[in-house]
Structure 1
Amino acid sequence: MGSTRNMQPKFRRRRQMAAALAIALVVLLVGTCAYVWYQRDVVAVRDYEGEGNGNVVMVRVSPGDSVDSLAEQLVEKDVVGSRRALMSAAERKDPELQAGYYPLQEQMSADKALEWLSSDDRRRGVVDIPNGLTLQDVKVVDGDNRKGIFTLVSEQTCQDEHTCVSVEDLQKAAAQTPPEQLEIADWALDKVNARGDDPKRIEGLISPGVHLFDPTSSPEEILKSLLKTSKEQYENTGLLSSAEKVGLSPYDMLVAASLVEREAPEGDFDKVARVILNRLDVNQKLEFDSTVNYDLSEVEVATTDEDRKRPTPWNTYAKEGLPDTPISSPGLQALHAIENPAEGDWLYFVTVDRDGRTVFNRDFDAHERAIEESRRNGVLDSNR
Structure 2
Amino acid sequence: MNNRQYEDEAHTDPIGYRTGEGSEFHRAVHSAEPAEVGRSRAATRHARAAVSRKRRGRILGVVLGLIVVLVVAGGGFFVFDRLSGGPAAPDDFAAGSSGDSVVVRVHPGDTAQQIGAEAVEKGVVASADAFMGAAVQNADIASVQPGYYLMPSNIPASQAVNTLVDPSARVGSVVISEGRQLHDARDVNTDAVKKGIYTLLSEASCIDTTGSGTPTCISYDEFNAAGGVDDPSALGVPDWASDRVRGVPDRDRQLEGLIAAGSWDIDPSASASDILRQLVSESAQTYEDTGILTAGADSGLDPYQTLVAASLVERESLPADFSKVARVIVNRLAEPQKLEFDSTVNYSLDTTEVATTDADRATVTPWNTYAMEGLPASPIASPSVAAVEAVEAPADGDWLYFVTINQAGETLFTRSYDEHLANIGKVEAGFLDSGR
TM-score normalised to the size of structure 2? 0.74
| Alignment match of 2:182 (pick from 135, 143, 164) | 135
Q: Of the candidates 374, 389, 400, which is equivalent to residue 321 of structure 1?
A: 374
Task: Return closer, same or farther for 1:61/1:355 CA change in 2, 3 Å cut-off.
Answer: same
Residue number in structure 2 paired with 1:381: 433
- Equivalent residue for 2:205? 157
Task: State how far apart, in whole Å, the 2-side matches of 1:125 and 1:188 are.
Answer: 27
Query: 1:29-61 CA distances to partner (integer Å, 9 max, x unpaired)?
Result: xxxxxxxx9993133xx3333365314332112
CA 51–343 in structure 1, closer or farther in 2 if over 3 Å, else same: farther
Partner of 2:193: 145
Q: What SS is found at the alignment partner of 1:294?
A: helix
- Residue of 273, 279, 283 corresponding to 1:226: 279
Matches within 5 A, 1:298-313: 298-313=351-366
| CA shift for structure 1 position 122 | 2.5
Q: Quote the Cα distance in structure 1 between the aligned partners of 2:308 and 2:165.
A: 39
Q: Distance in 2 between matches of 1:134 and 1:71?
A: 38
Is it true that 1:347 corresponds to 2:392 in the alignment? no
- Residue 39 to residue 189, structure 1, CA distance change in 2 (3 Å): farther
Which of 104, 109, 117 aligns to 1:72? It is 117
**Is 2:264 aligned against 1:211?**
yes
How far the C-alpha of 1:150 sits from its partner, in A, is 0.1
Equivalent of 1:62 in 101, 107, 127: 107
| Alignment partner of 2:148 out of 95, 101, 108 | 101
Residues 151-180 of structure 1 deviation map (CA, whole Å, 9 limit, x = unaligned):
011111223257421111111111135212
| 3-state SS in 2 of match to 1:306 | helix
Please state whether the residue corresponding to 1:214 is helix, strand or coil: coil
What is the aligned partner in structure 2 of residue 237 from structure 1? 290
Instruction: Provide Cα deviations, 1:328-356, integer angstroms capped at 9, x if missing partner.
Output: 00011101100111000000111123322
Whole-angstrom distance in 1 between the partners of 2:293 and 2:376: 20
Cα separation, 2, equivalents of 1:368 and 1:94: 65
Following TM superposition, by how much is the alpha carbon of 1:264 offset from its aligned partner in structure 2, in angstroms? 1.2
Q: CA deviation at 1:244?
A: 3.6
CA RMSD in angstroms, aligned pairs only: 2.3
Q: Relative to 1, partners in 2 of residues 1:51 and 1:151: Cα closer, same or farther, differing over 3 Å?
A: farther
Partner of residue 250, structure 1: 303
How many residues align structurally? 345
In structure 2, the CA distance between the partners of 1:301 and 1:197, relative to structure 1 (3 Å rule), is: closer
Q: Give the stretch that moved more between structures: 336-345 or 122-131.
A: 122-131
Alignment of 1:167 with 2:210, yes or no, is no
Amino acid at match of 2:201: V
Matches of 2:375 and 2:163, distance apart in 1: 48
Q: Report if aligned partners of 1:291, 1:327 keep a CA contact under 8 Å in 2.
A: yes
Q: Tell me, which stretches of 5 or more residues in structure 1 are unaligned? A: 1-36
2:162 is matched with 115
More helix by share: 1
Is the contact made by 2:184 and 2:350 (CA closer than 8 Å) also made in structure 1? no
1:265 maps to 2:307: no
Q: Equivalent of 2:336, from 272, 283, 296?
A: 283
Return the alpha-carbon distance in structure 1 between the equivalents of residues 152 and 86 of structure 2.
23
1:104 deviation in Å?
1.8
Deviations 1:45-98 (A, max 9, x none): x33333653143321123444534412222344422333432332233222113
